[in-house]
Amino acid sequence: MNAVYLAQDPTLADFGQDPWWLVLIKVLFAFVVCVLATLLGVWFERRVVGYMQVRPGPNQIGPLGLLQTLADGLKLAFKEDILPKAADRVVYFFAPAVSVICAVTAMSVIPFGPMVSIFGHRTPLQVTDVSVAVLVVLALSSLAVYGIVLGGWASGSTYPLLGGLRSTAQLISYEVTLGLSVVAVFMTAGTMSTSGIVAAQASGTQLNVFGQEFSAPGWYALLLFPSFVIFFIGIVGETNRAPFDLPEAESELVAGFQTEYSSLKFALFMLSEYVAMVTMSAFTVTLFLGGWRAPAPITTFWAGANSGWWPMLWFFGKVVLLVFVFVWLRGTLPRLRYDQFMRLGWKVLLPVSLLWILVLATMRKWEIMTPGLRYGVAVLGGVTLLALLFWPNRKPERKLTPQEVVDRRPHGSFPVPPMDLQVPPSPRTRRVVAEREPANVGASSDPKEV
Task: For residue range 371-425, list pLDDT tens digits in order.
Answer: 566 666 666 666 776 666 666 555 666 777 777 777 777 665 565 555 555 566 7
Q: Rounded to whole angstroms, how far apart are CA atoms 73 and 67?
A: 10
95-134: pLDDT as tens digits:
888 888 898 999 999 999 898 988 888 899 999 998 999 9
CA distance 65 to 72: 12
* Whole-number Å distance between alpha carbons of 234 and 389: 14
Q: Is residue 405 part of a domain?
A: no
Considering the domain boundaries, does residue 226 fall inside one? yes
Write down the mean pLDDT value for the chain.
80
The answer to whether the beta carbons of residues 168 and 145 sit under 8 Å apart is yes
Q: How far is CA 61 from CA 72, 79, 124, in A?
A: 11, 20, 38
| Cα–Cα nearest to 385, from 268, 230, 246 | 230
Residue 432 lies in a domain: no
Domain that holds residue 149: 12-17+84-297+306-390
Residue 345 in domain: yes
Query: Does residue 212 sit in helix, strand or coil?
Result: strand
Please, how many CA atoms are within 13 Å of residue 336, restricted to the half-sphere of its CB? Answer: 19
**pTM for the full predicted model:** 0.79
Provide, rounded to the nearest whole percent, the portion of the chain with pLDDT above 70.
80
Residue 123 belongs to a domain? yes
Residue 214 near residue 207, CB atoms below 8 Å:
yes
* 15/93 Cα distance (integer angstroms): 36
Determine, yes or no, domain membership for 64: no
How many domains does the chain divide into?
A: 1
Cα(197)–Cα(66) distance, integer angstroms:
35
Residue 2 lies in a domain: no
pLDDT single digits (tens) 230-248: 899 888 888 878 788 877 7
